[in-house]
Amino acid sequence: MIERSVVVRVHEGLHARPATQFVKLAKSFASDIEIRCNGRGASAKSAVKLMLLGVKENDEATLRADGDDAADALSALSTFLQTPDAGDVALSAKPAETHATPAQPLATGASRGIGASEGTAIGPAFAFFPAALDIQPRTVPGHEREAERARYSAALAETVQSFREAKSRPGLKRDDAAIIDALVEVAEDGEFIAAVEAAIRDGRDAPSAVVEAGREIAANFEALSDPYLRARAEDIRSVTRSLALTLLGRKDTTLAEMPKGSIIVADEIAALDLAKATLLNIGGILCRKGAATSHVAIMARAHGIPAVLGFPTEEAVLKAARTIGLDGSSGEVAIDPDGEATVRFQSAIAREAEERRKLDAYRTVEPRTRDNRRIEIAANLGSLAEIEGALKAGAMGVGLFRTEFLFMERRSLPGEDEQAETYTKLAEAFAPYPVVIRTLDIGGDKPVAGIDFEHEDNPFLGWRGVRMCLERPDVFKPQLRALLRASPVGNVKILLPMIADVGEVHAVRALLDECRTELDAAGIAHGAFELGVMIETPAAVFLAAEIAREVDFFSVGTNDLTQYVMAADRLNPRVAKLNRTEHPAVLAAIRHAAQAAREAGIWIGVCGEAAARPDLIPFFVENGVSELSMSPTSIPRAKKCVTEI
């Protein structure tokens, strides 16, 4: 048996979707794998047990593996745990920033719940109160127990298939599918199955065995302190109910026939219930249970459905309601509002619609400042799956494609052909707009299988980015050749991370020359490209004038530049107050790099989180930045901001 301890960097810890991805990765190895955290342990191949560990961001976890592929398993799983974006948690998974509770009084008959998805709604109430499961436990004779277990197995397969069919319904987004994947993982969890089968062996009938096992697991989640993990009890109840109904041969109440514009009123809604609805028909959601961290809240935010959860009222009150008005930001709810309140809700809806309409108009705009300066607003992406969303948002190309996601969560390095195909598809999707593809940016904080990283006390200052790549040409050259093979499309720009010395640029150019020669010898086409560097180290800032003479563009990585300038780890909450891009020292560094770019006649972009901030966009533009790259959801607002400068 071997073991390895790591600090968990997964954003918000191993909640449902990261836990699901972690378990899938663990199951790809034959070894027995255990994860221990906070004095407790669980199988790395059980999503339920893993979530019940309550592994948080910045916790220290120990992985133990026993088997022929134990070393590979620990390498891959350690990589996952040290990757902030592991599990691909989208921005829509986070609660929206809500405005403060309004000073105006509540409408007559109104009170408040938890604002879970912003927006105002008013409409007819659609009561969704599925009948409670009334299962009378019965004892199964010994000679029938194997048949009862087989009946459970068949019901499990049928239920999982229904989940997968729900995942493919039109109108669902990638995040919705990830939530349903998490439900599948719960249903197929080894611990859950073992608990049900043990109860059946003891003589319990399958439906009551399922309900009993589900009730116990849900109670374990509800006892946790973390609100996100507590909300996973909702998922357990949803899976349990689906399994029990399948065993009973019954169909559940659905939202499929809900009239358009209705406000769903319910005790609790599961993500699966929402997935089966026509989401465009839902005017709003009001539930007695739930929180902003529940999966129904995440899905509501992703689809722009106003929602209030945890509303303190009796079930009978909601069942009797005819009309519901709600504010998903403040949590205000009015049941059967009077005329004055109705007008107020309707006015708010009209105002929000006008604001959305104005913002949506910017999706197709190529923004120019008032003095006619064109600024490209591009997208930060990590996979080809994100292309469609970026194009819909109006991305003018890709300002940062993080190639490390091609290398992570896998057992071997991607080949040159696979990389070339990925980069070519990316370039073709956005042509003629540029795609800036960053070369492999990994290190001790996010290692990959196939590259041996020794322990480093401070991996952010260690063997990472271009430093590692230049010492591993066997890894770097296949990527460079793949990028060159994609360049005939005509819009490929290569970006080098962690540059601290002009000699590193010279070394990369020499490797590129070697790669071109090798491709020529093999008769493989390649084309022209631009070469740029990330401005993210203080050294690159101080040497900006010298480096600018050797490259075609700069791209400011505000996240790392801020932490390096301020000597404040961006993952350490105790120094978070220092980690501010708007700090005068960081702005001075950006201004210095922009001046060097201007004097050298090259362009400069910004690809960190700050690129989307309305308070900083005027500063960037004023200092000569011509490209801003960000999460696709931020693109329309950034375009609007540019046109007002």
Residues serving a catalytic function are 295, 607
Say how many C-beta atoms besides its own lie within 10 A of residue 552's C-beta.
16
Strand order in the sheet with 2-7: 2-7, 60-66, 32-37, 40-43
The H or E element containing residue 34 is strand 32-37
Residues 47, 7, 293: CA angle, nearest 5 degrees: 50
Residue 443, φ and ψ in degrees, nearest 5: -170, -160
Q: What is the distance between the alpha carbons of residues 486 and 525, in angstroms, rounded to a whole number? A: 9
Token pair of 598 as six digits:
């201007």
Q: What is the distance between the alpha carbons of residues 31 and 26, in angstroms, rounded to a whole number? A: 9
Q: What is the distance between the alpha carbons of residues 252 and 268, in angstroms, rounded to a whole number? A: 14
Say how many C-beta atoms besides its own lie within 10 A of residue 100's C-beta.
7
Q: What is the distance between the alpha carbons of residues 427 and 486, in angstroms, rounded to a whole number? A: 7
- Do residues 525 and 487 make contact, with C-beta atoms less than 8 angstroms apart? no
Q: Is there a cis peptide before residue 614, judged by omega within 30 degrees of 0?
A: no
Question: What is each CA distance from 617 to 377, 395, 581, 585, 625, in whole angstroms?
Answer: 11, 16, 12, 17, 9
Question: What is each CA distance from 545 to 301, 503, 599, in whole angstroms?
Answer: 45, 14, 8
The H or E element containing residue 272 is helix 271-275
Q: What is the distance between the alpha carbons of residues 527 and 525, in angstroms, rounded to a whole number? A: 7
Q: What is the dihedral of CA 317, 319, 321, 325, to 10 degrees?
A: 90
Q: What is the DSSP letter of 343?
A: H
Q: What is the distance between the alpha carbons of residues 98 and 340, in angstroms, rounded to a whole number? A: 24
Q: What is the distance between the alpha carbons of residues 246 and 196, in angstroms, rounded to a whole number? A: 15
Q: What is the distance between the alpha carbons of residues 483 and 492, in angstroms, rounded to a whole number? A: 8
Q: What is the distance between the alpha carbons of residues 295 and 298, in angstroms, rounded to a whole number? A: 5
Q: What is the DSSP letter of 455?
A: P
Q: What is the distance between the alpha carbons of residues 92 and 299, in angstroms, rounded to a whole number? A: 8
b/e for 384-397, b at 16 or more Cβ within 10 A?
eebbebbeebbbbb
Q: What is the distance between the alpha carbons of residues 599 and 315, in angstroms, rounded to a whole number? A: 68
